Amino acid sequence: DNQIYYDDDASYEDIEEKTVAVLGYGSQGHAHALNLADSAIDVVVGLREGSSSRAAARDDGLRVATPTEAAAEADLVAMLVPDTVQPDVFDAIEPHLDAGDTLLFAHGFNVHYGQIEPPEDVDVSMIAPKSPGHLVRRNFEAGEGTPGLLAIYRDATGDARDEALAYAQAIGCTRAGVVETTFREETETDLFGEQAVLCGGVTELVKAGYETLVDAGYSREMAYFECMNELKLIVDLLYEGGLGEMWDSVSDTAEYGGLTRGEVVVDDHARDRMETVLEEVQNGEFAREWITENQAGRPAYTQRRKAEQAHDIEDVGAELRALFAWGGEERDAETPKAPA
């Protein structure tokens, strides 16, 4: 099993003397930068001239420079701009990565697929919180942590792991636990998971279930509730207590039906297709396709996105969410309060 590290495994001394450049001030960037600063680490945020994030970083009390200036000053550069722009940003900062510096990532895509080839004398590591940035920040401020992953791609100095652990501690991850992995494992499992299960698999399952009911003459509203809305209740149970808690919480009828019919839908054919998806992740075919798609200005992506937005389930979902209280805060604010 993979090694798990906690606060006791990390030493503040391994990072306290260093200047950290956080490139990007988006989801991860703002959380890492603010948590590092609160941990009394010298932080400089690297953002391009005219960047819309500059004001936010300054308002939060942080020092801002261009990515190149920030990298020149730093001993550790955290690459927290979007994955698709990282190769260009890397080209700009590469001359400022000195022997013994560290280049740190929160996702392995560009290094694993050879889009970024850091100098041989630079440590290359990864601290990847398993959560969106706003939670990384909120948990830290609440005195809690966010679980994360640690990976070392290149240990040029011999201190790469200690330093990465100190970074993980400074952003709060070791409070919750940091699991050691590799750039390859993190990248390939992340891509497979989001494609086959989390994002791609779930949305296709939802749409297929919805279409099956509507095509059979059931109402769009019922199909939406059964195939989309209730998914949250099931996911919450899985998240809290795994398969066991979910099966315990639903009716025996739902449990028996699910246990016998789930595999009728996700059958050997679906598992074969999952293997194909995994192979395309492993052999780099998906990565090449996505890189080419970006170079071409994202034509297929834009078209797929439009088609998804135009799906009937989006219309009925918007109507129903607006109708009911769980439609959100805006609706709540407009709803007259019942007499007390």
Q: Does 63 interact with ligand NDP (rule: CB under 6 A)? A: no
Q: Quick check: is 107 catalytic?
A: yes
Q: Does 80 interact with ligand NDP (rule: CB under 6 A)? A: yes
- Backbone dihedral angles phi then psi of residue 224, each to the nearest 5 degrees: -65, -50
* Of the candidates 148, 48, 137, the residue with the CA atom closest to the CA atom of residue 89: 48
And the tokens for 154? Answer: 């290149």
And the tokens for 292? Answer: 């080419």
How many residues are there in the chain?
A: 340
Establish whether 219 is an annotated binding residue: no
Question: At a CB cut-off of 8 Å and minimum separation 6, what does 30 contact?
Answer: 53, 56, 57, 60, 133, 137
* Of the candidates 3, 29, 4, 8, the residue with the CA atom closest to the CA atom of residue 147: 4
Establish whether 13 is an annotated binding residue: no
Q: Is 63 helix (H, G, I), strand (E, B) or coil?
A: strand
Residues numbered 5-34 forming contacts with ligand NDP, rule: CB under 6 A: 24-29
The amino acid sitting at 317 is G
Which residue of the chain is nearest ligand NDP when measured via CB?
26
Q: Does 190 interact with Mg ion (rule: CB under 5 A)? A: yes
Nearer to ligand NDP, 52 or 295 (CB): 52
Q: How distant, in Å, are the alpha carbons of 131, 151, 311, 320 from that of 135? A: 6, 21, 31, 28
Q: Which one of ligand NDP, Mg ion, none is in contact with 128 (Cβ closer than 5 to 8 A by kind)?
A: ligand NDP
Q: Does 171 interact with ligand NDP (rule: CB under 6 A)? A: no
Of 30, 107, 134, 269, catalytic: 107
Question: Mask: binding to ligand NDP, 114-153, rule CB under 6 A, as x and -?
Answer: --------------xx--xx--------------------
Establish whether 25 is an annotated binding residue: yes
Q: How many CB atoms lie within 10 A of CB 41?
A: 21
Q: Which one of ligand NDP, Mg ion, none is in contact with 114 (Cβ closer than 5 to 8 A by kind)?
A: none
Nearer to ligand NDP, 85 or 320 (CB): 85
Establish whether 7 is an annotated binding residue: no
Residues that are catalytic: 107
Write out the residues near ligand NDP by the rule CB under 6 A: 24-29, 47-48, 51-53, 67, 80-83, 85, 89, 106-107, 128-129, 132-133
